[in-house]
Amino acid sequence: MSDRILGVIGVALAAFYIWQATLIQESFMSDPVGPKTFPIIIGVILGLSSIYFIIKPDPEPQWASFGRTMEVLFAAAVLFGYAYALPIGGFVLTTAITAMFLSWRLGAGPVQAAIAGATISVGIYVLFGLVLGLSLARGPWGF
């Protein structure tokens, strides 16, 4: 039953997300794809995934323990903090710290987590900032 409830909530969220995506204002200098396409694709994927939960629910779902649930909530809080710290610390530094922390919580050792954080941060910066030319949050060092 809980899977079906999650599925219905997911379908409602997907519908709301797609509706909000259709309200995005397009500038006069827009590419052929437009700014609405990617959010609509994400909404469709969410909706289809949620429909799967409605059609084929797990007969006996096993809920996470309280400690595990708190771990997930703490990770969500870290991501909210990341969004707030991004304009202050810049993309590279803030992403490196966040990715390092989340890698550590997912089971990597401290050195592996530091390497993963730096690699993820620089890799995404190179791909989106330098190759694709997207504007990313600038930090105190200008990147």
Q: Which domain holds residue 39?
A: 2-55
Question: Does residue 35 lie within any of the structural domains?
Answer: yes
Region class of 90: left (phi > 0), else alpha (psi between -120 and 50), else beta: left
Count of domains observed in the chain: 2
Question: Does residue 143 lie within any of the structural domains?
Answer: no
User: What dihedral do alpha carbons 96, 101, 107, 112 form, nearest 10°?
Assistant: 40
Question: Does residue 89 lie within any of the structural domains?
Answer: yes
Block residue for tokens 């105190």: 140
Residue partners of 32: CB distance under 8 A and separation at least 6: none
The overall pTM is greater than 0.75: no
What are the pLDDT digits (tens) for 113-133?
999 999 999 999 898 888 887
Other Cβ atoms closer than 10 A to 87: 12
Q: Same structural domain for residues 37 and 92?
A: no
Q: Same structural domain for residues 11 and 37?
A: yes
Residue 98 has pLDDT above 90, yes or no: yes
In which band, very low, low, confident or very high, does the pLDDT at 52 lie, cut at 50, 70 and 90?
A: very high
What are the pLDDT digits (tens) for 64-84?
899 989 999 999 999 999 999
